[in-house]
Amino acid sequence: MKSLKQQILLAICLASFCRNSLSNNLSVFPQKFQPAEFPPIQILSNKRNCENPLQINSVNHIQISAFATANQWGFLGHKTINQHAVFALPQPLFGFYKKHIQFITDHAVDPDQRRYTDTAEACRHYIDLDHYERALPIDTLPKYWTQAVEKFTADTLFEYGIVPYHVQMMLYRLTKAFQEKNLAAILRLSADIGHYVADAHVPLHTTENYDGQLTHQHGIHALWETRIPEISLPNYVLLTPNGHFLESPADSIWNAVAQSHALLPTVLKTEKQLSQNWPQNKKYEFSTDLRGKTKKQIHPKFVKSYEAELHNMVEIRMKQAIAAVASYWYTAWMLAGQPNLDEISNQILTEEATNGITNKSETPISTSTLPSRCDGSKHD
């Protein structure tokens, strides 16, 4: 039996996850979206193609230099994905997001920055499929939150990650923001959902062995999602189909997670084989960053060899993430009834307005009370 302290922590985590994310009034969605994908809050509290669908966008690395030195889909990856997703939007949404592309890009990393101040945050970035599933396809985990809580309990779900469920909740909230024509909320939620959708495209965000710690491959997480883009991004051609309306947003995010998990054996096996045949004294290098700090990093030659052995998997997943992010933005706008974007975009957007909503729906909790798996160090 869990201690009283653990039960309180889980209750806080649940409250933070649900708070303001759902509404009892679900009229914003067509009937076919109710209530399975977006259950009413009282249920949770009791437990826990459209325009030119094949048009290719040809934008590549606009304004990348502004954040090319970012060191953490590390920061560079997330900003790149959100930025390019803007150019993967059909009209009229493209014009709306293009006007606010700097905000969408800069705030792509907000969820990562919240991980160290909000105990409910880290769980939203991953899901440990191998805790539930012995093999693909995913047939043990329910695709909707209410059914998953009934089957596994909320504390178990939080412990092993909730990214596909959280993307569904974020879609609801973004749709509601469009319906209310709330520019500040639209921009913040767009940046956030872009982050979570991108995380679902990372193979190491789908396993308990998230940093190779169970297979003696420590550091593989940063190698795959940070070091490879850091070195190879200038050579990527991020051409993607335009975003389109998602008939079943839940299926879309679960498919992304399943595809990521299917790539996991290759991610791990390839790195292990390459490391075994690589001189260990040449696998790492010491470099000095712009602040004069010296750090040990995997040598670019190893990084490029690993990426080649993966057959450009990182670039491919990044492109798929870009198309998916654009599709979730577009779907939210469509579900909201296609509100007039000029009326929204012409609102005066003050710094106070955008900063004021950043954490309104989150409940900051002292990091001294972090649950065992829902803290900022997990799945980094």
pLDDT, tens only, 277-301: 999 889 998 877 667 788 889 999 9
pLDDT, tens only, 165-186: 999 999 999 999 999 999 999 9
Strands 294-298 and 284-288: antiparallel
CA 376 to chain CA centroid, Å, is 15
Q: According to the model, what pLDDT value does residue 290 have?
A: 64
Contact 58, 239 (CB under 8 A): yes
Q: According to the model, what pLDDT value does residue 296 have?
A: 86
Angle between helices 75-86 and 313-335 (to 10 degrees): 50
352 pLDDT band (50/70/90 cuts)? low
349 pLDDT band (50/70/90 cuts)? confident
The answer on pLDDT for 246 being more than 50 is yes
**In the predicted model, what is the mean pLDDT of residues 4-19?**
44
DSSP state of 158: H
List the domains of the chain with CATH numbers: 4-23+49-369 (1.10.575.10)
Could you give the percent of the chain with pLDDT greater than 70? 72
The answer on pLDDT for 59 being more than 60 is no
Angle between helices 300-309 and 249-276 (to 10 degrees): 120
**In the predicted model, what is the mean pLDDT of residues 370-377?**
42
Token readout for 214 is 């169970």
The answer on pLDDT for 159 being more than 70 is yes
Name which residue leads in pLDDT, 313 or 16: 313
The answer on pLDDT for 58 being more than 70 is no
Q: According to the model, what pLDDT value does residue 379 have?
A: 59
pLDDT, tens only, 13-56: 444 444 333 333 333 333 334 333 333 222 222 222 223 222 33
The answer on pLDDT for 351 being more than 70 is no
Q: What is the pTM of this model?
A: 0.78
As a whole number of angstroms, the distance between CA 330 and CA 321 comes to: 14
Q: According to the model, what pLDDT value does residue 292 have?
A: 78
Token readout for 319 is 């492109």
DSSP state of 89: P
The answer on pLDDT for 113 being more than 50 is yes
Q: According to the model, what pLDDT value does residue 18 have?
A: 41
Name which residue leads in pLDDT, 368 or 254: 254
Query: If DSSP states are collapsed to H, E and C, what string results for 310-378?
Result: CCCHHHHHHHHHHHHHHHHHHHHHHHCCCCCHHHHHCCCCCHHHHHHCCCCCCCCCCHHHCCCCCCCCC
Average pLDDT of the chain, as a whole number: 79
Mapping DSSP to helix (H, G, I), strand (E, B) and coil, where does residue 131 land? helix
Q: According to the model, what pLDDT value does residue 105 have?
A: 96
